[in-house]
Amino acid sequence: MRVQAFMFYGCGLFFLITDIVYWIFSGDWTGTTAMALAVGLAFMIGIYIHFTVNRIEKLRGGELPEDDKLGDIADSAGDQGFYSPHSWWPLFVAAACATLCLGMIFGTWLMLLGGAMVVLTVIGFVFEYYRGQYVA
At 2-15, the pLDDT tens digits run: 788 999 999 999 99
Comparing 21 with 83, the larger pLDDT belongs to: 21
**pLDDT above 90: residue 99:** yes
Q: CA separation (Å) from 131 to 34, 120, 134?
A: 41, 15, 6
Average pLDDT for the chain: 89
Domain extents for the chain? 2-69, 89-129
Q: What is the arithmetic mean of pLDDT over 72-76?
A: 77
Question: Of 6-15, 49-58, 69-78, 116-125, which range is least confident?
Answer: 69-78
For the residues of 12-71, what is the DSSP string, one character each? HHHHHHHHHHHHHHH--HHHHHHHHHHHHHHHHHHHHHHHHHHHHHHHHTS--GGG-TT-
Q: What is the pLDDT of residue 104?
A: 94
Q: What percent of the chain has pLDDT above 70?
A: 96
pLDDT band at 123 (very low <50, low <70, confident <90, very high): very high
pTM above 0.85, yes or no: no
